[in-house]
Amino acid sequence: QVQLQESGPGLVKPSETLSLTCTVSGGSVSSGSYYWSWIRQPPGKGLEWIGYIYYSGSTNYNPSLKSRVTISVDTSKNQFSLKLSSVTAADTAVYYCARDLALEHWGQGTLVTVSS
């Protein structure tokens, strides 16, 4: 059974870059023709899909965030990562990682607060 776990700083200053990692166990990020996604949920609001990286390395981002987002994969550590630049308070959210376009497996999420 594949499991995903998000990790990274819980507090980021405005204008800085948010960096999170998703560690995958029970499966490989470099095989199986899977998509690896990031999703977020601001407090009291709905879910927003951020983007994905395909096992081959190709990416697709939500146009609303595209100019600030980079998703990458580290096959040696069986992880994939999210970088979101120039953050503001509006980027405060619980960030989730998930597998495939169906989002069939999710991590528990990690709260990132943007504040000085």
Partner 1 sequence: ETTLTQSPAFMSATPGDKVNISCKASQDIDDDMNWYQQKPGEAAIFIIQEATTLVPGIPPRFSGSGYGTDFTLTINNIESEDAAYYFCLQHDNFPLTFGQGTKLEIK
Give contact residues for partner 1 (rule: CB under 8 A).
4, 37, 46-49, 60, 62-64, 96, 98, 101-109
Question: Which C-beta is closer to partner 1: that of 36 or that of 96?
Answer: 96
User: Phi and psi dihedrals of 85, rounded to 5?
Assistant: -90, 165
**Cα radius of gyration rounded to whole Å, the chain:** 13
What is the distance between the alpha carbons of residues 19 and 39, in angstroms, rounded to a whole number?
Answer: 14
* Structure tokens, 24: 């995958």
* Cβ 38 to partner 1 shortest distance, Å: 11
* Cβ 61 to partner 1 shortest distance, Å: 8
Question: Which C-beta is closer to partner 1: that of 81 or that of 96?
Answer: 96
* Cβ 13 to partner 1 shortest distance, Å: 26
Q: What is the maximum alpha-carbon separation in the chain?
A: 41
